[in-house]
Amino acid sequence: EDIIVSTETGDEFIIFLTKKREDKSDFYPSDLESLCDRMTDWLNENIPAITFPYFKGRPRVGVGYAIVLHNPLIREEKLVNKLIDDARLMAEYQGFKTMMRDKEKLQELIIKESIITVFHPIVDFVKKKIIGYEALTRGPEGTEYESPYVLFDAASDSELLFELDRLCRQKALLNAKGLSSDYRLFMNCIPSAVHDPEFRGRYLQALLDEVSIRPENVVFEVTEREAIDNYHLFREAVEYYTDFGFSIAVDDAGAGYSSLETIVELKPHYIKLDISIIRGIEKNILKQELIRAIKSLADKMHSTVIAEGIETEAELSALKEIGIQTGQGFLFAKPGPAFPDINRNIIQSA
């Protein structure tokens, strides 16, 4: 009876505190501010865990507050509406403060280079061997940024995606020092990365020389975290790296129209199937037909199809029946910092 909860819109909730709390003799605006700060922190820490994996982004919540004083000259309905408007403005302000705090934390993370690079093996099922490793990025252990989804979503929200991506590329190469020349290094990059003037020429060659990796062993894996606005300019930029010796892969194929458009426009060396169409493929005829169509297109372009996120032997068997012979996933190995080996029993029985 002391608290009323109402919904104004689908994603907006209003809480009315109608009476003083019994255990406090006084209640001041500062008490409400403290309560809202605690609610904001708790909600933003816990909601992502509830929404994942249904929503891979990072939903943020702003909590505002307002106080209304009795005024006999103003109708109660008008006072309540003013109260709601003030609380909504305060919520927007709190949301802005949260956004700026997040941006500062991310800027500090980038400045201090506080990211961790792990490597995930990519396997040829037919030849029963590792063909390369994908470099993956994690934020500091024990923080919300440890999740790559949260890390890159926060970077996108803070308009720091290019800066983070650039750091990830540098760290991927530096941490790949010692990688055998028998393996290819797959590096994720956003589309704008190919326009980076400081990631080419003498600097790029010096970096590759430092880690003893040949350009022919590097694969640029283009992700969908950023839209490609002009394919003509993008192809021209990509040609610099292919002329240099790099290979090109398109990530998340089958997850949306844009990845298919990118495949047609770029004619990449590798096409990586999104985990969403791999999961449960042995029971889904439509997914199987979609992969057959992508493989048919890849064969015409002389591209290699790589299935991502293989977790069960049933998924592996279904992929092999379709003709896919390369992939990665927890079935073979988990990502690790020092070029992890694969489950040989699984490979031998594949």
Query: Does the pLDDT value for residue 30 go beyond 90?
Result: no
Place of tokens 């590097």: 218
What is the dihedral sign for C-alpha 318, 323, 329, 333?
positive
Which pLDDT belongs to residue 4?
Answer: 64
> Which domain covers residue 310, as residue numbers?
113-349
Same-domain check for residues 271 and 309: yes
One-letter identity of residue 191 = P
Confidence of residue 256 (pLDDT cuts 50, 70, 90): low
Boundary (domain end) residue, out of 75, 105, 135: 105
Rg (C-alpha) for the chain, rounded Å, is: 25
Which pLDDT belongs to residue 237?
Answer: 92
The lowest-confidence range among 20-24, 239-243, 264-268, 329-333 is 20-24
Same-domain check for residues 92 and 129: no
pLDDT in tens, 123-140: 999 899 999 999 999 999
pLDDT in tens, 296-313: 999 999 999 999 999 999
Query: Does the pLDDT value for residue 59 go beyond 80?
Result: no
Boundary (domain end) residue, out of 82, 105, 128: 105
Which pLDDT belongs to residue 27?
Answer: 61
Q: State CA 125 to chain mean position distance.
A: 27
Q: How many domains does the chain have?
A: 2
Residues of the chain with pLDDT > 90: what percent?
54
Same-domain check for residues 139 and 156: yes
Boundary (domain end) residue, out of 78, 105, 132: 105
**Which CATH number do you get for residue 339?**
3.20.20.450
